[in-house]
Structure 1
Amino acid sequence: MSDAPEPRPLLDDLPAYKPGLPPAPVPGMTAYKISSNENPYPPLPSVLDTVRSAAERMNRYPDASNGALRQALSRFLDVPEDWIACGTGSVAVLGQIITAMCDPDDEVVFAWRSFEAYPIVVTLAAAKGVPVPLTADHRHDLSAMAAAITPRTKVVLVCTPNNPTGTVVTDAELRMFLDRVPRRVLVVIDEAYVEFGADPTAPDAMELLREHPNVCVLRTFSKAYGLAGLRVGYAVAHPPIAVALRMTATPFGVNLLAQEAAVSSLEAGDELDVRVKDLVAERDRVEAALAEQGWRLPPSQANFVWFPLGADTPDFARVCEEQALTVRPYDHDGVRATIGEPEASDRLIEIAATWRAAHS
């Protein structure tokens, strides 16, 4: 036994989170980072004014109850205020969920590949992740996920649109899945990218939440709202789940600026809607150009596209980097490219055409 402090042994098996890297400079080229799912637009002027004003009071603690934000979300979502729990981004709220629901060795079922923070958060809670492979068309295999539930399962994570593949589950599929899930199991519908979706068959998670006490909806202000640097997300769930999530939150975690910026963003819905529509139109343009080149990518309902390149993943990412464009490679599964500035999209399209021609 060591006579020095030792971290928990489970950290030896903790997967590493790999953030999107900034592009290395290339002489004569403007560098673009599309390796993180960031909103390329600057903050809305009204939101920025709110943040500047709030900064004058940053010597004070924020509201630990997130009262004004929860009230604004209650009105926006048409749910009771006490159904809402906030945290420092949806990944932190996910941590609150797992902490509240799982004892050591309890199981959490999720699709794979999906959001890479899932196995990290599960491992930190000393719970056991149960990854279920995606289907051949890069979608959740909800039937297999239902079959993976055991008496030890406490939580199931459904990411739709899925990160990094951009695919969605349908309302019919999710309803059949919920009929198979035991009521004691919490089903978390992770909708970090829901604002970018236009698929009419996609589920209405808030309606499912109202119908099923074991459903929890997870959302964020980081993507469509462009508040990634302020870190604020939320969950909507029935009591007592929402109460438990507030209990497991870091006290004063959502800072003063983040709370007020989020409220201001909800009030600027029309302006944000224009930006989201512009990003969706740019995504559609990129997908159409890639399809014309012969790429067969899964249809994305998020603010990124997925190249299922398999063993060619590192090579494609390297070629992009050589052209001052960073994308997000996932081992030997594929590459995710965020929809950013049109100039970045143009470069991605050009690189994809050259790379495909060289490998066809």
Structure 2
Amino acid sequence: MATVYPAHFDISAVIRPNILALQPYRCARDDYSEGILLDANENAFGSSIIASDDAEKLLTELQATTSLDLHRYPDPSHPSIKGRIASLRGLVPPPGTTTSDPSGADHVFLGVGSDEIIDLLMRVCVKPGGLEKILTTPPTYGMYAVCAQVNDVGVVKVPLELTGTNGEGGEKGRFSVNVDEIKKIVAADPSIKLIFLCSPGNPTGTLIPLSSIRELLEYPLFKGIVVVDEAYIDFADDVQKSSAASLVKEYSNIVVMQTLSKSFGLAAIRLGIALAQPPLIQILSNTKAPYNISTPTAHLALSALSPGSVSLMQSKVRSLVQGRSTLLKGLASLSSFGVGPSIGGNDANFVVVPILEKPASEAEALNGKPDNKRAFRLYKTLAETHAVVVRFRGNEPGCDACLRITVGTEEENAEVLKKMKEVLAEI
């Protein structure tokens, strides 16, 4: 062990205890970074920014980014980006409405990914030191709990209700939010300031009905904010009718988070979005770092939100949704190898399937039980022997022995099915 100098310094006496105890969020790239990557719910078709196929013109486009005023600090407000987002999500006020911002930009906040927004919401709403809490509905996105520990706030968990048997007997498992239980808990504990809902859920892929969200927003014994994380909303069948963005103008106690990472295929630029009424947006803006969105990120985001690029995004989403259907059919064809029916709602760009005990016969396959060890072995073998990377989710509540598989290109989907069949035949 290396000698610490100076001897009087002890790092564990300086760092806050909640940080020393922190289990960091483990992202997909912590495990594998090469091969067919179907583990991080990225857009397999890439960015939807329209670019030229002509090499000379493409070079000019790249030069447009490098010729930006990179020696200057970026615009801290980005009204053009916010205006395009407000238009896309139906937050532009009707003509003739009296408003300080006719573009709807005052309903939009931009963060360094949704993670900055999650962190900011906790910092501005929830007192640290275990005095106040957030509520989550596992299985859900792991960063809610990580940010809570970083900010030294408590976490109350109300698991999603799972109906069905998670693959056993050929019955599909379905998740839903237990609204009655949430209402009961927040009524008894006024220290809960934020409710985090993921819709479509990660890893469940399940949409939360707007009626359930409305019920929580209107519940008079909950005085806090309902946060709806819609990272995958563009993969739902009817985005306008499914998105809680339609509730933002009506309710002052809702925040809807979205991102350019998934449907827009721009995970690398780290642009998260919060939609809420102007008073809360102003508080987030007052609290953020002065220049949180870089000039290159802003330039790319504005291009991605142009009408042509949005149309291209929607076209790619349609292709991925079709690929999702094909992938689900392919996974169903592997039932005799011990692949159970998918769980969740399949409203995102990924699917989740349980891996069952190795069946001795086709009849036995229909009644197999989830086998967590076999699922983990399949995950490891696919990645380390066949360069096909999916995500093991068997330790999540309600996801026993489950693998989460991002919808890829037609060729990638075919390859993952082929390799799964080969490996399952052997293990």
Find out whether 1:94 has 2:118 as its counterpart: yes
Equivalent AA in structure 1 for residue 191 of structure 2: R
Deviates more, 1:154-163 or 1:170-179: 170-179
For residues 323-359 of structure 1, the C-alpha deviation after alignment (integer angstroms, 9 at most, x for no partner) is 2111112353432111122222112222444555667
Cα displacement (A) at 1:76: 2.6
Structure 2 distance, partners of 1:169, 1:228, is 24
TM-score by length of 1: 0.90
Find out whether 1:297 has 2:308 as its counterpart: no
The residue aligned with 1:28 is none
Structure 1 distance, partners of 2:81, 2:183, is 35
Classify the secondary structure of the residue corresponding to 1:211.
coil
Structure 2 distance, partners of 1:197, 1:110, is 22
Check whether the contact 1:51–1:257 (CA below 8 A) recurs between aligned residues.
Answer: no
Find out whether 1:349 has 2:388 as its counterpart: no
Find out whether 1:59 has 2:71 as its counterpart: yes
Equivalent AA in structure 1 for residue 106 of structure 2: D
Find out whether 1:242 has 2:281 as its counterpart: yes
Cα displacement (A) at 1:199: 5.9
Give the CA RMSD over aligned residues. Answer: 2.4
Between structure 1 and structure 2, the one with the greater Rg is 2
Distance 1:91 1:53, change over 3 A: same
For residues 171-204 of structure 1, the C-alpha deviation after alignment (integer angstroms, 9 at most, x for no partner) is 2333333333645210011100000111689633
Q: 1:150-165 alignment to 2 at 5 Å? A: 150-165=189-204
For residues 141-174 of structure 1, the C-alpha deviation after alignment (integer angstroms, 9 at most, x for no partner) is 3332333322101000110000112111122333
Distance 1:176 1:354, change over 3 A: farther
Structure 2 distance, partners of 1:272, 1:45, is 8
Deviates more, 1:253-262 or 1:350-359: 350-359
Structure 2 distance, partners of 1:98, 1:323, is 41
Determine which of 303, 306, 315 is the counterpart of 2:352: 306
Distance 1:202 1:15, change over 3 A: farther
The residue aligned with 2:88 is 76
Moved runs in structure 1, 4+ residues, more than 4 A? 22-25, 47-52, 199-202, 354-359
Distance 1:190 1:288, change over 3 A: same
Determine which of 12, 16, 22 is the counterpart of 1:8: 16
Check whether the contact 1:23–1:32 (CA below 8 A) recurs between aligned residues.
Answer: no
Distance 1:201 1:173, change over 3 A: farther
Cα displacement (A) at 1:12: 2.7
Distance 1:162 1:341, change over 3 A: same
Structure 2 distance, partners of 1:34, 1:118, is 23
Distance 1:134 1:357, change over 3 A: farther
Query: Which structure would you say has the larger RCO, counting Cα contacts within 8 Å and 6 or more residues apart?
Result: 1
Find out whether 1:330 has 2:334 as its counterpart: no
Q: Percent identity?
A: 24
Structure 2 distance, partners of 1:44, 1:92, is 24
Determine which of 169, 176, 190 is the counterpart of 2:229: 190
For residues 89-117 of structure 1, the C-alpha deviation after alignment (integer angstroms, 9 at most, x for no partner) is 11111111111111112111011110111
Unaligned runs of 5+ in 1: 26-30
Check whether the contact 2:260–2:272 (CA below 8 A) recurs between aligned residues.
Answer: yes
Check whether the contact 1:280–1:303 (CA below 8 A) recurs between aligned residues.
Answer: yes
